[in-house]
Amino acid sequence: MLFNSFALLGLLGAIARAETEGVSDVNSFVLSNNGGCKCGPSDRCWPAPLIWNVFNLTLGGKLIADTPPAISCYDGPQKDLAKCASLQADLKNSTYIGNSPVAPGFPVNDQCPPVNFAAGEVAGTCTMGGLPRYTVDATNPLQVSAAVVFAHLSNIRLVIRNTGHDILGRSIGDGSLAVWIHNLRQGITFQKTYTASDKCSKSGWKGSAIKIGGGYVWGEVYAIAEANNVIVVGGGDPSVGCIGGYAQGGGHSPANHNYGLAADQILEAQVVLASGLIVTANACQNTDLFTAIRGGGGGTYGIVVSTIVKAHPTTRVSAQVFSMAPLTDANIPDFMDALAIMYSAYPDLADAGLNGYGSWAANSYAPVIPNLPYTTGYSHALAIMGKSITDAKNAFASTAAKLSVYNGTSLFLYSDYYTFPTYAQYYRTLSGGLGPVGSEAALGSRLLDRKALTNTTGLKNMLNTVAGNPGQFLQNNFCLVSGGQVFKDRAEPFSGVNPGWRTSYVHNIVAGGWFPGADAATKAAVHKDITEVKVGSMRAIAPDTGCYMNEADRLDPDYLVNFYGGALPKLQAAKRKYDPTGLFYCPTCVGSDAWKEDSQGRICKAN
């Protein structure tokens, strides 16, 4: 133990010397001697096995040599057909994904796919492909620091992995060293009254707070919140990690409308910088870093190892569950008209306090509303906090009146109301749930403001476009989570979120799919259609808003503008200041335009 901490200190000492004696040039020296590329496993500058062993010792044995999740399906010492068979379910299980150092929630370029032998599939080839080669299984912030310093001095690609899923391929990386904070668990602590770690009082927050000391998931934090009768703004999916990309990218939640975005809940954070130093970021110290991690994207400016977030007194919640579907396919045009009525009502519904989630599809390959046969349909659950069922009904009354003309003549309409004594009970019953993972995702999204949602002709065009044609396998998910406090927080002095959130009511996601076994050309065509046509139709009515980076098109050619909007200049300034060498690279993250991937999968200076 003593030896390990000394070894670690030795490594940290190396950084300190690097700062003062100019040894930090080691990195730029190696970089320029490797053609401007990070050192990949086949480069001469890749650390020798002995170095990895020494590094492992400094970490107290916490270095994992990564293997592809599906290695059990392929010939070799790790072949295990029982394990391979269970992967069919495991790789769709968000808890399993969260517990694995490398399994991707949404594979981007899987070069070792699981093989379904039972369905007659034949094993092809299995290579490490786009995966990290080693993972630091950090259990304390010093190990995170050590990983950062080691990656910097060795000029190797560093990937940050928390717990949960990522759609954009930001938490895996070819030939990289990953630092994984899933097992960094230094406690979840409720503070009746928020106390800043450094006496900083500039947040102005006098309420309760919860300190999240590591890679915990929302399900764990919700349990502590419920036990203390408070609400925290966290994900709809309880398997998502709290302190990473979710909150740092903005963080939508069933609680946004009343309490603000998840990013705006962060009162302070402990951050491991690219230099290896561990600092506090809040309204008093490192305020530009504080701003950047409050909405400017995860994995970009530093590695957040703990946060303290606002906690709000719990309240009763009333909710409406609603669905509609055309009685026959001939009624689909009426369904589309009713859908336009619903979308154009969202701004007023939100202003009246209703918010929540829903989805719809037209001509789907499977039923779209739970327990009903319709393959075209819409459903939502919208809630109103601190209010009664009567309030919920009143808030929905004028929309219900507009839709009632279709009821029974061309559409099936269903609506029911519920009330819950606490937010936690509402969340469990009608809102939260483990989302699906494991598929290759082709999706795009757009934030929709009042102008977009009330542009009658434009909106109808858009809805018809994103509905797609029969056989296109499209689905739309909408998040009516904004307005309210999200808009009020536009006055937040330390916010890095895309300003599009401050005027948009809805985050609308369109996702496309394909038949199992589809070839690369088919997938690419679906993706191109999403990027250009489907998202294009949303952009046409909402040209100024942008999108929510965490559920966005990872191939968006204009991602800097769309993901970050007007916040980009201050985020780029924070990136230059806190990570001048670009250690924290991730696709679509701020600063990623300085790098490109070469044919061997290495990242290299873009120019």
Ligand X SMILES: *[C@@H]1O[C@H](CO)[C@@H](O)[C@H](O)[C@H]1NC(C)=O
Give the footprint of ligand X on this chain (CB under 6 A): 52, 56, 61, 63, 65, 89, 93, 95-96, 99, 404, 407-408, 413-415, 451, 455, 458, 461, 540-541
Report the length, in residues, of the chain: 607
The answer to whether 473 and 441 are in contact (CB under 8 A) is no
What kind and span of H or E run contains 137? strand 134-137
Q: How far is the CB of 339 from ligand X (least distance, A)?
A: 15
Listed in sequence order, the DSSP H helices in 419-553 are 423-426, 450-453, 456-467, 484-488, 520-528, 535-541
Listed in sequence order, the DSSP H helices in 44-140 are 49-58, 81-90, 94-99
Distance between CA 575 and CA 27 in Å, rounded? 18
Q: How far is the CB of 148 from ligand X (least distance, A)?
A: 18
Q: How far is the CB of 150 from ligand X (least distance, A)?
A: 13
CB closer to ligand X, 452 vs 586? 452
Q: How far is the CB of 491 from ligand X (least distance, A)?
A: 26
The answer to whether 64 and 101 are in contact (CB under 8 A) is yes
CB closer to ligand X, 428 vs 570? 428
Cβ count within 10 A of residue 226: 18
CB closer to ligand X, 190 vs 418? 418
- Identity at 299, one-letter amino acid code: G
Q: How far is the CB of 535 from ligand X (least distance, A)?
A: 13
* Strands lying side by side in the sheet with 504-512: 411-420, 317-326, 377-385, 355-361, 474-480, 504-512, 442-449
CB closer to ligand X, 176 vs 282? 176
CB closer to ligand X, 289 vs 538? 538
Distance between CA 332 and CA 265 in Å, rounded? 42
Angle between helical axes of 2-21 and 49-58 (0-180°, round to 10) = 110
Distance between CA 146 and CA 15 in Å, rounded? 9
Identify the bridge partners of residue 177 per DSSP, sorted by sequence position: 134, 158
Q: How far is the CB of 411 from ligand X (least distance, A)?
A: 9
CB closer to ligand X, 170 vs 450? 450
Q: How far is the CB of 182 from ligand X (least distance, A)?
A: 12
Q: What secondary structure letter does DSSP report for 222?
A: H
Q: How far is the CB of 430 from ligand X (least distance, A)?
A: 17
Distance between CA 310 and CA 324 in Å, rounded? 37
Distance between CA 491 and CA 74 in Å, rounded? 55
CB closer to ligand X, 208 vs 320? 320
Q: How far is the CB of 11 from ligand X (least distance, A)?
A: 15
CB closer to ligand X, 407 vs 572? 407
Tokens at 207, concatenated: 């309420």
Q: How far is the CB of 229 from ligand X (least distance, A)?
A: 29
DSSP string, 34-67: TTTBPPPTTSTTSPPHHHHHHHHHHTTS-EEE--
CB closer to ligand X, 409 vs 607? 409
Tokens at 108, concatenated: 């981007």
| Residue number of the CB atom closest to ligand X | 458
CB closer to ligand X, 96 vs 584? 96
